[in-house]
């Protein structure tokens, strides 16, 4: 019983000390010299099993290929964040149907760009990225 009470109190203390953490990412996506318009960009807070990953935000690139995305999460330890980009640059598609699938590339956000609070204070700027080349570990998402 003592051990149970100690565990319960420890969990309560950790939950009380859990604080909000914010992160923001921006960049521009290009396919060669052409901006990638309407690509989907998702910001994920990565967790370990059994806690599932949390989707913090979703945006689409503008007519110039630009995006800016931010979100916040309450966790006890420093959050781990990834940006997932879904696009059709140089995409042959499934069965040579280019509109059927999207290329999916995941980038980890460095811990130094995660700050306390609900507002981003230091943006992670990914710069201008040419999405033509295949990236090791890249995936595909269909329909």
**Tokens of residue 85, six digits:** 């980009």
**Residue that the structure tokens 């329909």 belong to:** 143
Distance CA 123, CA 103 (A): 25
pLDDT tens digits, residue range 95-137? 666 667 899 999 999 999 999 999 999 999 999 999 999 889 8
Distance CA 65, CA 39 (A): 8
CB neighbour list of residue 80: distance below 8 Å, 6 or more residues apart: 45, 46, 47, 108, 111
pLDDT tens digits, residue range 74-101? 988 889 999 999 999 988 766 666 667 8
- pTM summary value: 0.82
């Amino acid at each position: 019983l003592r051990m149970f009470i100690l565990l319960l109190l420890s969990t309560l203390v950790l939950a009380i000390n859990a604080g909000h953490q914010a992160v923001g990412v921006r960049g521009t996506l290009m396919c060669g010299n052409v901006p990638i318009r309407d690509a989907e960009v998702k910001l994920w807070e990565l967790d370990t099993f059994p806690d599932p990953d949390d989707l913090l935000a979703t945006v689409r690139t503008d007519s110039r290929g630009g995006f800016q995305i931010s979100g916040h999460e309450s966790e006890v330890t420093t959050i781990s964040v990834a940006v997932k980009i879904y696009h059709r640059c140089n995409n042959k598609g499934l069965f040579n149907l280019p509109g059927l699938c999207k290329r999916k590339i995941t980038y980890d956000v460095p811990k130094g760009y995660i700050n306390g609070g609900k507002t981003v204070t230091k943006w992670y700027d990914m710069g201008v990225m040419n999405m033509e080349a295949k990236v090791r570990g890249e995936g595909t998402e269909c329909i």
